[in-house]
Amino acid sequence: MTLGAEVVSDYRAIGLTLRPHPLAFLRTDLEREGFRPASDLLTARNRQGFKTAGLVLVRQRPGSAKGVLFITVEDELGTGNLVVWPSLFERNRRTILTASLLGCEGEVQRVGEVIHLVAHRVFDLSHLLRRVGDRDEAFVAPAGRGDEAKRGGSADQREAKVLGRRARDIYIPDLRYDAPIKVKPRDFR
> Would you state the pLDDT for residue 147?
54
Residue 165 — φ and ψ, nearest 5°? -155, 165
What is the model's pLDDT at position 51?
98
Q: What is the pLDDT of residues 74-133, one digit of tens each?
A: 999 999 999 999 999 999 999 999 999 999 999 999 998 899 999 999 999 999 998 898
Residue 41, pLDDT > 70, answer: yes
What sign does the CA torsion over 56, 108, 34, 87 have? Answer: positive
CATH number of 29-132+184-188: 2.40.50.140
Cα separations in angstroms, 98 against 49, 55, 117, 126, 187: 25, 11, 20, 9, 11
Binning pLDDT at 50, 70 and 90, where does residue 44 land? very high
- Tell me the pLDDT band of 16, cut-offs 50, 70 and 90: confident
pLDDT score of 182: 73
Residue 153 has pLDDT above 70, yes or no: no
Mean pLDDT of 177-186: 70
Q: What is the pLDDT of residue 138?
A: 45
C-alpha 152/C-alpha 130 separation (Å) is 38
